[in-house]
Amino acid sequence: MVRAVLRRPLGIVSASVILFVLALAVFGPALAPYDPFEGDVRSILAGPSAEHWLGTDALGRDVLSRLLAGSTLSLLSAAEAVGIGLLLGVIPGLLSVYLGRVFEWLSLRFMDSLITLPFLVFAIAMTALLGNGLHQAMFAVGILVAPGFYRVTRAAALAVACSQYVEAARLVGASPWWVVRTHLWGKVAPTVAVATANMLGAGLVIVSALTFLGIGVQPPEPTWGGMLATDLGYLFQRPYGPFIPAVLIMITVGAFNGLADALHDATDTSGARTRSRSRTNTRKELAHA
């Protein structure tokens, strides 16, 4: 599937952007030319220069250094939220197909109730209950994105559950765990991969929105959303200030969405090739017969 994605221009561009952003998250803090927490009162709200390539903020801190340092928290927090949603959504989605009517009904009603929760209110309530920290906020986000994973996984699993080879495995006494591990997961995994890429983009937007509001990560810790909120307060002095973190968020989200589209096209093409080969083999057998 990786090769199929990389054969497409959209897949190549999206993967390249994501790799670049991941490199920023890994090496960004080490590449920062200045301490992202240390300000210089002599260069407050300075414009771009040879000394400060992207200028400084209202406290004299180097903007480029804070962007590089903030990339780690911004991406890791989005990945943490999506990972929590993946566990809370995919596993119940798979098991709801095979563990009987009671578990199916309970899991469906629970996921439906999560969908009705107001996102911002729930996130604020969770951080107020557990503390205004990164992990608490991401746990709240992960709970709210879990229904999306649940519905995607369940829909893909239902399509496979009615297949003849799964029914045959049940008839010979295979346990639900064996069926899920052997037959089901391989068919559901491409769909989950597409949903994960989409959710990573959505998770970054959600994380940026929360940090923009001061939820999860508190100043002076740099994040892309937090820098965007800070720069909006000084538009008159630095009208270009919010542009750079906003563009980083937009490019990264677009890359994740592009990767999801490329994955979707790759899996569809693989399925079309399989069906085409199956039809060709059937015609050959009929011809020989």
pLDDT in tens, 71-112: 998 899 999 999 999 999 999 998 888 787 888 899 999 999
**Helix ranges restricted to H, 32-133:** 63-95, 100-115, 119-130
Q: What is the pLDDT of residues 212-237, one digit of tens each?
A: 888 877 778 888 988 888 888 788 88
Q: What is the dihedral of CA 264, 267, 268, 271, to 10 degrees?
A: -170
Q: Give me the mean pLDDT over the 274-280 stretch.
A: 43
Q: How many CA atoms lie within 13 A of 245 on its CB side?
A: 31
Q: Give me the mean pLDDT over the 184-207 stretch.
A: 89
Q: Cβ distance 66 to 36 under 8 Å?
A: yes
Query: Can you say whether the dihedral through the CA atoms of 214, 220, 222, 227 is positive or negative?
Result: positive
CA dist 201 and 74 (Å) reads 11
Q: Give me the mean pLDDT over the 256-263 stretch.
A: 92
Helix then strand then coil, in percent of the chain rounded to 5, is: 75, 0, 25
Portion of the chain with pLDDT greater than 70, in percent: 92
pLDDT at site 183 = 72
CATH topology of domain 7-288: MetI-like fold (1.10.3720)
CA dist 60 and 64 (Å) reads 12
For 134, residues 6+ apart whose C-beta sits below 8 A from its C-beta are: 73, 77, 80, 216, 217
Beta-bridged to residue 8, according to DSSP, are: none
CA dist 44 and 59 (Å) reads 6
Best CA proximity match to 145, nearest among 214, 208, 99, 80: 80
pLDDT at site 272 = 45
C-beta pairs of 157-166 under 8 Å, 24+ apart in sequence: 157/93, 157/94, 157/96, 157/97, 157/184, 157/188, 158/97, 159/187, 160/184, 160/187, 160/188, 161/97, 161/98
Looking at the whole model, is its pTM more than 0.75?
A: yes
pLDDT at site 286 = 32
Q: Specify the DSSP class assigned to residue 57.
A: -
CA dist 270 and 22 (Å) reads 28
pLDDT at site 230 = 84
Q: What is the pLDDT of residues 47-75, one digit of tens each?
A: 888 888 998 988 889 999 999 999 998 89
Q: Give me the mean pLDDT over the 115-139 stretch.
A: 82
Best CA proximity match to 191, nearest among 256, 143, 260: 260
CA dist 51 and 250 (Å) reads 27
Q: Counting Cβ atoms within 10 Å, is residue 117 exposed (0-12), middle (13-18) or buried (19+)?
A: middle
